[in-house]
Amino acid sequence: MKDRALSRIIKILFKHKFILIFAILSSIIQVVATLFIPIVVRNGIDYLAGINDVNFNYLNNVLIYVAILGILQALFGYLMQYLMAYITNNTVKDLRNTLFKKLDKLPLSYIDTIPEGDTLMRLTSDADQLGDGLLQALTNLITGVITIILTLIFMLVVSWQVALIVICLTPLSLLTAYFIAKMSYKTFRKQAQIKGKLSAHYNEMFNMLKIVKSYNYEEKSQKEEEKINNELYKVGVKAQFLSALVNPATRLINSLVYAAVGMYGAIRALSGLITVGDLTVFLSYAQSYTKPFNDISQVMTELQNSLASARRIFEIVDLEDEKYEVSNNLVDVAGKVEFKNVYFSYLKDKPLIENFNLLVKPNSKIAIVGPTGAGKTTLINLLMHFYNVNKGQILIDDIDINTIDPHNLRDNIGMVLQDTWTFKDTIYKNIAYGKEASKEEVIKAAKEAYADNFITLLKDGYDTILDNKTAISEGQRQLLCIARLMLRKPKILILDEATSSIDTRTEVLVQNAFSNLMEGRTSFVIAHRLKTIIDADQIIVLNKGHIEEIGTHNELLAKGGFYKEIYESQFQKID
């Protein structure tokens, strides 16, 4: 997977191949300018013949040449850095967009099984870590390789003997960096996984802080955090040790190379075979040649960390998209819904719904009741095609929902749940979410949901930004969700205790509004408070994934079965 992750990153980088080529050319010019400076300086040193025997005219030219080469080196070095940063930022941006789009395409069955904090970690920290590693790799690695190659060429031209000494000692530095980087990869990968685990814990505790405090769970939560954090500390120390080990190890070997070149050059200079200027060139090139190995070894360690993060990103990118065999669209929906021999379970070894059959006529109000875990919400998830049935069919107007474009399907189904769905945006955009609507249409929908009164009392009215600081209650947020449904007016409605957070007086008004909205529409109402579904055309009593009873309110009471038990537990006993 490591090599595959690297090859995929390279493939992404090559989308910017022309900019990459220009950056490499800039790096080559920078390195060539750097390598020509010692040659120019060498000639200047050799013209310092002795006391009162200096060719100042030539030295002036040397200074001019060094200045020109220095300007070229700085200019093209900056250009290379800028282009590499541009490529890196765009690559990370594209990869982050790809990951975010992928989350939209994944089935909810997967989203429901992964910790939220770990997913956020991949979108943020892992993407940032990948970007940092890529930037170092593109700058230091490419520049380092170019420097090594060109320095060898220059050394071969100046002295093939010096080049031979350097070439013979080079593998020691490469092998050292390779083995340490190989050891560090597994450690960095484990470190990234623990970071995701810790992020998930922080996210969970932050979102449920009130519950944590209510149940005096602070100490246990703290101990769990300390356990994960201590595990991260141990792995982090090991990762940093291996990371820090690379540079001094390669620096030691490169110092031996520099010393060998210096000794050889000094012997030849004392023998009169080369000049002092030649010796400075040898030493300068030896340093130019060995320095990139230190940089590359550091980059290789950082790259292992980045590859570990890349792998975590690709783990999600490579997941299979939610599959649809789209061949139909809903047009002029009548609202007939049918469950035919439906089987479904979240876990293979724990069946939930078995051989479920239900026919709902158009424009019917269907109430679904039953104890917790009976499968009420599961039926809604299946109808919305958030999950696929294991066996059987769900049909709308005699069309299998597996063949319907999911966007088209959900455009025709409106849903309000107990949980409020509001986003950090204006109230106007929250109500108009998923639909292009004028201000007048939004206000009309808000009035139908009895939300207009409290909205107009806010300082910015419909332009109020909803966030954690906005002073509105949970019940008011639920009214906004109801207004969103009023605006869309879909042909099929799903209401899961949609008025649970609303005060009694407002609930009566909203229920009246719902009654008006349900006219001419098929409605599914999941109810815990039975007083809200007494007028339903059919009440389906679920228990352990099966239909225990079905009928009207009066019919079910007359049967004296499970429904009557539920009803009597909420109200007085029926004689």
| Pair 484, 430: CB distance under 8 Å | yes
Residues sharing a CB contact under 8 Å with residue 423, sequence separation 6 or more, in sequence order: 429, 430, 433, 466
More confidently predicted of 130 and 62:
130
Average pLDDT over residues 125-147: 82
Express each pLDDT in 50-62 by its tens digit. Answer: 555 555 666 677 7
Distance CA(316)–CA(314), nearest Å, equals 5
Average pLDDT over residues 520-543: 84
Average pLDDT over residues 197-213: 71
Mapping DSSP to helix (H, G, I), strand (E, B) and coil, where does residue 417 land? coil
- The burial class, CB within 10 Å (0-12 / 13-18 / 19+), for 49 is exposed
Express each pLDDT in 404-461 by its tens digit. Answer: 888 888 888 888 877 777 888 888 888 888 778 888 998 998 888 888 888 888 888 8
What stretch(es) of the chain map to CATH 3.40.50.300? 337-570
Express each pLDDT in 550-561 by its tens digit. Answer: 888 888 888 888
pLDDT over 60 at 9, yes or no? yes
Provide the token pair at 4.
């595959």
What stretch(es) of the chain map to CATH 1.20.1560.10? 2-317
- The burial class, CB within 10 Å (0-12 / 13-18 / 19+), for 177 is buried
* Alpha-carbon Rg for the chain in angstroms: 36
DSSP for 195-220 reads HHHHHHHHHHHHHTHHHHHHTT-HHH
φ, ψ dihedrals at 270, nearest 5°: -65, -30
- The burial class, CB within 10 Å (0-12 / 13-18 / 19+), for 10 is exposed
The sign of the torsion formed by the CA atoms of 367, 372, 376, 380 equals positive
Per-residue pLDDT, 574: 46
What residues does 53 pair with on adjacent strands?
50
More confidently predicted of 363 and 282:
363
Pseudo-torsion of CA 537, 543, 545, 551, nearest 10°? -20
The CATH class, in words, for 337-570 is alpha beta
Express each pLDDT in 300-350 by its tens digit. Answer: 767 777 887 888 888 888 888 777 777 778 888 888 899 999 888 887 777
pLDDT over 70 at 140, yes or no? yes
Residues sharing a CB contact under 8 Å with residue 27, sequence separation 6 or more, in sequence order: 76, 77, 80, 142, 143, 146
Mapping DSSP to helix (H, G, I), strand (E, B) and coil, where does residue 153 land? helix
pLDDT over 80 at 24, yes or no? yes
- The burial class, CB within 10 Å (0-12 / 13-18 / 19+), for 296 is buried
Q: What angle do CA 482, 483, 486 make, to 5 degrees?
A: 90
Rounded to two decimals, what is the model's pTM? 0.64
Q: Tokens 């009928």: give the residue.
A: 551
Express each pLDDT in 367-420 by its tens digit. Answer: 888 887 777 888 888 888 888 888 899 998 888 888 888 888 888 888 887 777
Q: The domain 2-317 belongs to what CATH superfamily?
A: ABC transporter type 1, transmembrane domain (1.20.1560.10)
